[in-house]
Amino acid sequence: MKLADLKVIVTGGAQGMGAHFATRLAEAGAQVAIGDVNEEGLAKVVASAKGLPGAIHAHRLDVSDEAQCESFVAWANTAMGGLNGLINNAGILRDGLLVKKDRTTGEIIKMSKAQWDAVIGVNLTGATFMVRETVAVMAAAGTPGVVVNMSSIARHGNRGQSNYTAAKAALAANTVTWSREFARFKIRVGSIAPGMIETPMTQGMNQKARDALVAAIPVGRIGVPEDIWVGVKFIFECEYLNGRTIDIDGGLSM
């Protein structure tokens, strides 16, 4: 699929990778609908895209809210005059060990249900709602399309990320499931598994953990959103890519 022909939703589009993807798509002539809870960030992305060959439309979206996913997809379909793509990018971190012992008091501390629910709600349930609603619109219109999920190399397992790992592993597995289910609609599904990427989310990590991860990357640097964009572009453009997750991680093993 040519980028200029895309009418695509990007979740988590107010900053970081989502904002970068939206801008790159608009530069290529695509129509883009970005959603995020950060309305100020959405406005900045729209303003920065003025004069580009394509266009960026923005609307508030909390992907963990099923009703908002449904209404956002309907709005995007109307705003862009159709819909043939989704980048499932929205995500949050609420890291912590499932069970740990306080070094001072010896108290046993458990990951809270709130920590678990927040990450699963955005990174998995919300992502699934967005796929369901987007594909339903494309299938009803008989429009071929592409879904790009954002998984993570953490899907293989990473200390302190039980919630995040569970969500990202499920997205990678469902990339295969959905590619088989949606083939009848001529909708392809691919996934990118980023490693350590410079974004506002990773900038909020524990500094010691962040430094250790960067030091373990064989290419010798942290990734940038453009590195991931190259993979996203490939999934859209390669008509023979379906049901697969591409690791873009600089060689990092967790």
The span from the CA of 106 to the CA of 164, in Å, is: 26
Of 21, 72, 129, 164, catalytic: 164
Amino acid at 139: A
CA dist 136 → 77, 200, 243 (Å): 11, 32, 18
Does the annotation mark 164 as catalytic?
Answer: yes
The span from the CA of 151 to the CA of 127, in Å, is: 10
Neighbouring residues of 113: CB distance < 8 A, sequence distance ≥ 6: none
Active site residues: 164
